[in-house]
Amino acid sequence: MVTRGRPRKTEKEDALYGIMCAFWQHGFKATSMNDLVEASGMAKPSLYAAFGDKEAMFEKSLLHYFDCYGDLVFGPLMRAEKHYLVDVRNLIQTVGYLAADKSTPLGCFLFNAQVENAYGTEKHKVLLSDLAQTRYGGIRTRLLKAVDAGELSDDADIDALATYVDGQLGAVSILARTGAGKGQIDQFVETALKALPSETPFDFDDLPEFTLRQ
């Protein structure tokens, strides 16, 4: 049922989450205003008043996605409390498990949007590039901490390693979007991890069990 009038803050947040999921599910181009009205539970005039036009809603949705999932995905990586390979494993596996979660649209919204908007509007490209650079920068920062901890050599190619890890996030997101289960994701992550170097002894067979934080 469509509600009328300006929503309270909690209602507005719920509406934005619904809008985000609509774009996440269908992409920018395929999502209609009727889809957004239904997803938000708001009448069209109230929807425009609260969030702006369709482009503005899409941009707000991408930022809201980062707000919803950023700490869950990148918090442990930034805290660097474990060996860097454990942190990277947890990062890729978290993205994979979230992307495969059937309670939300499949895949990673950011990666889905990057693929769809490769030929999209310039404004969308800039925002998506900024968000991707934030993601890449977080990975790179963690790898630099690994150098400081002696887990990576001083001459390690940090940019190449960060690009590799970032690429695995995109790959596991696509894998999950095509219907891969947790077993396939686990195998993918295990294989991806073994391509990464370590200056300190590390037993891949003795990795702690992965548990998705909530």
**What average pLDDT does the segment 110-120 reach?**
83
pTM greater than 0.85: yes
Domain 61-206 has CATH 3.40.50.300: no
pLDDT tens for 125-160 read 899 999 999 999 999 999 999 999 999 999 999 999
Q: What is the pLDDT of residue 11?
A: 87
Instruction: Reply yes or no on whether the pLDDT at 6 is more than 50.
Output: no
Q: Which fold has domain 1-52?
A: Arc Repressor Mutant, subunit A (1.10.10)
What residue ranges do the domains of the chain occupy?
Answer: 1-52, 61-206
Structural contact between residues 113 and 62, judged by C-beta atoms closer than 8 angstroms: yes
**What average pLDDT does the segment 183-206 reach?**
90
**What average pLDDT does the segment 75-94 reach?**
95
What the block records as the tokens of 144 is 């630099």
